[in-house]
Chain A
Amino acid sequence: MIGVQSGQPILDSLGYTAAGLLPMAAWLVRVCVTGDLPAARQVAAAATSPARVHLACVLTALLCSTVLGALATLLVARISGAHGADRRVAVPVGEATVGGLLAAVACALLGTAVGALCNWPLLRRPGYALLATALAALVALVQAPSPAHAAVHDLVSGSHSGAVPMPVPACAAAALLCAVATAVACALSSRRA
């Protein structure tokens, strides 16, 4: 049974919530980065620098997805059942919520990294950008070395054992990847008209 429903095992539900956040974070980057009209963007870039304007766009998207992810996590933790996947092991709600929040942050950060790398200025054509975003988001969720995969996987397997994971290393790794991806995108923002 996959999905987030009232009374479902809390760690499973938090895992799916975090996983769903990743493509949404990538999409929000696209919205923020391509939403401004070129004229308005150029005016702001002259006053500051193209890199700072681009950084502001990416950070806005990251802030939005983090806040949304936190709200979603709190809601899911509230409506889910405080038990493991087999409905026999008890799972502490407080600890599970913290674990879920960390996983959500990791997914928001990695989704932002995907969005930063798969949109302007690196990929300019909408078709390629959308295709790359979808593929990269999928790979980031299912492929082993990805911190988002690790965080979600830990939550779901924790649901079977009853042990609540704290995906702090995954969060740190995702933050690093997000910083590198954003830096690359910002550095290129003055080279692509």
Chain B
Amino acid sequence: MRALRPPPGVPGTPLALEGVGRRYGSRGPWVLRDVELAVPAGTLLRIVGTNGTGKSTQLRIVAGIDQPTAGRVRGRPRTAYVPERFPAELPFTAVGYLTHLGRVHGLRGRRAAHAAARWLERFGAAGHAHTPLAELSKGTSQKVAVAQALLAEPELLVLDEAWTGLDQRARGELDRAVAERVADGGAVVFVDHDPRRLTGAADAVYRVQGTGLAPWDPRGPLTTDAPARPGAAGRRIRIEAVGPPGAAPPDGLPGAPEVAGAADGGTALTVPAAHSDALLRALLTARPPWHIRTVTEPPAPDGPVGPADCVGHPPSGGGHP
């Protein structure tokens, strides 16, 4: 849990789609075609697009559940997937299912049961650990779906609207868990109908256009002086820390913070809000450790989240629950 993101320059690319196409049936229309996508380690990728454009197909190919009709998928890291809907009518209790999935993911002996209990607790579902899956509410069922993906600390986490159905607290917890995976060098690919989900935290955003996939700057042409990082708007957290005298911040900090000098020899690091916990953990566990002086939320430089973030996401939500 303590490894930092691999330093820039040596990024592993555990998964790459090369000229991938997918159609259903030998004469069906192409759902996706000529898709190129590299999923480097330690990155958070978002895929956007209106409903019915093949986002879920895209995610299933990334997760290795679906094989492309054309092109190839290079590499297959240890993967976990959270489906859009998880109506788990299986003959297991919540903790029994998670323990079983932990073993499927490769956890040995009691580690699977421990991880199952820990993640249920983290999502506030420990009280339902021994409830049969078929009797769980929709929200708790979704917590189980999310927990099964996180408990084995996968190298690649694929989330298809995983936040839908979770309560407010669990959504925040999932945001932080995603940032942790990325900070630990894992890759996360996600789709969510809420345009503000993990705003500013994504390293890259891709948009399904027609049957293709294109890198997308969510700020679009509206602001010409936009930072290079896509989605730089959104809540950010400023951490003022003091390191060993004369030392620069460690390489590969979570969330690629903006570094600036601060008063009394301190250093100010600003990251998207979702990465702040992971950044604090990285600073506190660095060797030698950094001292945290203040944690503040500065006012967003561009004001509130602009409508540019909503491009491609009709405010109606397109019929999402």
- Residues of A in contact with B (beta carbons under 8 Å apart): 36-40, 42-50, 190-191, 193
- Give chain A residues whose Cβ lies under 8 Å from the Cβ of B64: 45-46, 49-50, 190
- Residues of B in contact with A (beta carbons under 8 Å apart): 24, 57, 60, 63-67, 69, 76, 78-83, 85-90, 101, 104-105, 145, 148-149, 152, 158
Interface centre among B24, B67, B149 (most CB of A within 10 A): B67
- Give chain B residues whose Cβ lies under 8 Å from the Cβ of A47: 78-81, 101, 104-105, 152
- Give chain B residues whose Cβ lies under 8 Å from the Cβ of A40: 86, 88, 90
Minimal Cβ-Cβ distance residue in A for B31: A193
What are 22 A-to-B residue pairs whose CB atoms are below 8 Å? A37-B87, A39-B86, A40-B86, A40-B90, A43-B81, A43-B82, A43-B86, A44-B101, A45-B63, A46-B64, A46-B65, A46-B80, A47-B78, A47-B104, A50-B66, A190-B64, A190-B66, A190-B67, A191-B66, A191-B69, A193-B57, A193-B60
What DSSP secondary structure best describes chain B's contact surface?
loop
- Give chain B residues whose Cβ lies under 8 Å from the Cβ of A193: 24, 57, 60, 66
Q: Does B67 contact A39, Cβ atoms closer than 8 Å?
A: no
Q: Does A44 contact B104, Cβ atoms closer than 8 Å?
A: yes
Q: Does B87 contact A46, Cβ atoms closer than 8 Å?
A: no
Q: Does A48 contact B104, Cβ atoms closer than 8 Å?
A: yes
- Give chain B residues whose Cβ lies under 8 Å from the Cβ of A43: 80-83, 86, 101, 145, 148-149
- Give chain A residues whose Cβ lies under 8 Å from the Cβ of B90: 36-37, 40
Q: Does A42 contact B65, Cβ atoms closer than 8 Å?
A: yes
Nearest-neighbour CB distance to chain A for B189, whole angstroms, equals 12
Nearest-neighbour CB distance to chain B for A181, whole angstroms, equals 20
Minimal Cβ-Cβ distance residue in B for A56: B104
State A46–B24 Cα separation when bound (angstroms): 20
Interface centre among B83, B88, B101, B105 (most CB of A within 10 A): B83
